[in-house]
Amino acid sequence: MEDAEKESVEKKEVAPLSSKIGKVAYLGCSFCILFVAYQLTQGFLTTLFPPNISLISLSIIYISLGLMSLVTPQIQTRIGLRWSFLIGGFTYPLFIFSLVLNQSWFVFMTSFTLGAGASLLWLAQGVSDTLQAVISPIHQVYISLLADGSNVGKFNGIFFSIHNVNMIIGMFTLSVVDYFHVPFDLNNLPMIMTFVGLLSLILFFFVRDVEGEKGKKEIAPFVEGLKELWKISTDTKMLCIYAAIILQGSHLTFTFGPFPTMVDKNQVANLFLVCGVARMSASYVAGKMYDRLGWHYTVAAETLVLLLSYGSSVYGYRTSSFWAMLVASFGFGAGDSFLMLIISASIMSIWKQEAKNPFAMFRLFSSLASGIGMIAVRLFSWEVVLVFNLIMTLCAAGSYCLLFCRVIKKDAMYAQLEMQEPIERE
């Protein structure tokens, strides 16, 4: 009898985990389709519009995304996850459609709305994956599964692996079109991608509810919400993560800014195809590494990959070696995936159910770093941006050592002392 009961309990425990993995995978597919449309359009923005307009547009997107991160936690709390996905996702095809009209003022306006929508969309994704990781549907209550990090890396790895397929699909399609000389007018690209983006909204509509959204606590007033956000932003643990967050934003600036200009234009699609493959595969590897080996090896791998990648890009540029640039592109994609997973998994592990505001700060500083970086690449040489990223790579590794070796251990020690005090009084 006891053995039968144990078997039934095990079956019940396995089912919810597979269900949660299915929800994360479905969300990853929805994001993948949306970003097939956006990444392809963004990649040809400088072709469809003059460089100054495309630069201003990208800067508006990233700065708007960062600034709106201050208020999106309050908005998301009030409208829920599904509406956050739908409203945030709609701003992407709206921006793409603005390129069809070929009016710069409309492009700038939709760039701002895209930044705001992206802030809401990615916040909802972070909250959704966090809830999947820390809520047990068996008992319909909050049960932390993150004590040993058993699901945080897995869920992030699954989501970002599927999401990052978008770059492979887009760049592979362009490579095939170019290789077989298929007649295609790039001016028709925004219209086609608008319909692809709208298709993702249908998928977002069917995103299943996450346990924990139901029966959630009362919504705090707006001003109180901002105070909570400020409190999180100055938290010691958050301060330790800022270096990695800024690096993630500035790394994207270099990858999609100066780096493609360092090779022949005809090779850019192949370069990003390799980058996309690296981002997809590295996401899953980083998730497994974080769960099984811990943050030490994951941060060490991320640091080593980025240092080697930046070195390879310099060597490839100096020697005109395209193979070295391919190695650098693979490393940039893998490094970005490692960074995204380390930051996301750290936030989920530390703040668990209260991850909404930390994710907002993540998007704020990462997006501002990207937005300011887009302007900086016009003012400074690519060497300056590269050196800055190298410095931030080392700072991020050092700050993570400080976070996990000193700050978190210190908090755990204080928590243990507080638990012992009542026992000693008794």
Q: Tell me, what amino acid is at 232?
A: I
Mean pLDDT confidence for 195-211? 81
CA atoms within 13 A on the CB side of 65: 29
Given a contact cutoff of 8 angstroms between Cβ atoms, the answer to whether 382 and 258 are in contact is yes
Is the CB of residue 281 less than 8 Å from the CB of residue 332? Answer: no
- What is the domain extent for residue 179? 2-425
Report the sign of the C-alpha dihedral through residues 344, 159, 305, 379, in that order.
Answer: negative
- Residue 425 tokens read as 């009084």
Span 347-394, pLDDT tens digits: 877 886 677 778 778 878 888 888 888 788 878 888 999 999 999 999
> Binning pLDDT at 50, 70 and 90, where does residue 66 land?
confident
pLDDT bracket for residue 43 (50, 70, 90):
low
The residue ranking higher by pLDDT, 73 or 343, is 343
Residue 35 has pLDDT above 90, yes or no: no
* pLDDT tens per residue, range 241-260: 999 999 999 998 888 778 88
Q: How far apart are CA 42 and CA 280, in angstroms?
A: 19
Phi and psi based region of residue 212 (left: phi greater than 0; alpha: psi -120 to 50; beta: remaining): left
Neighbouring C-beta atoms of residue 352, cutoff 10 Å: 19
pLDDT band at 396 (very low <50, low <70, confident <90, very high): very high
- The CATH code of the domain that includes 166 is 1.20.1250.20
Least confident interval from 56-70, 195-209, 216-230: 216-230
Domain count, the chain: 1
Residue 229 β-bridge partners: none
Phi-psi region of 102 (alpha: psi -120 to 50; beta: other; left: phi over 0): left
pTM: 0.73
Residues 125-175: tens digit of each pLDDT: 554 444 444 333 222 222 223 233 456 666 767 777 887 788 788 777 777
Residue with tokens 């307009």, as numbered in its chain = 53
Instruction: Give CA–CA dist 171/37, Å, rounded.
Output: 11
Residues of the chain with pLDDT > 70, as a percent, come to: 74
